[in-house]
Structure 1
């Protein structure tokens, strides 16, 4: 006769389900992260080229806001794309 309680198989099945779900989420996150890093990296490379026309003509009025938003977008792209091709 076995001394194990009837809930042990249920607990094991529940634990296995949790592990599988966790691994599935991690795999999904990796699948999404790679293209985001790729886009972030190349956006960080390309966005500074948009600074040139803004700075060349001088920053007046709404151009100052556009420059600030462009700078923020470039900083975000640098953070997102940091791990690309590593």
Structure 2
């Protein structure tokens, strides 16, 4: 008779590739979702700065919003393109 336990494994189990792929897919999908909706909302903040006339005093903020919008457009480009 063998005294090996059926509950012990001789080698540790690595995470399955499907689990890693699922996590990667979730992370990419979440980033695309956030990027897409940020690209939709950020122009309204920029428009508010322009309409209020405070864009002259807040040039770094406006440039930051503009760069953030470009980045959001790039990240969110593939959202819901199956």
1:51 to 46, 49, 70: 46
Aligned length, in residue pairs = 68
For residue 80 of structure 1, what is the aligned residue in structure 2?
Answer: 75
Matches within 5 A, 1:57-76: 57-61=53-57, 63-76=58-71
For residue 38 of structure 1, what is the aligned residue in structure 2?
Answer: 33
1:44 match: secondary structure = helix
- Taking only aligned residues, the RMSD between alpha carbons, in angstroms, comes to 2.1
Q: TM-score, normalised by structure 1?
A: 0.66
Q: How big is each residue's C-alpha offset from its partner over 1:31-72, in whole Å with a ceiling of 9 and x where there is no partner?
A: 1111111111011011100111211214223x1000011001
> Which has a greater percent of helix?
1
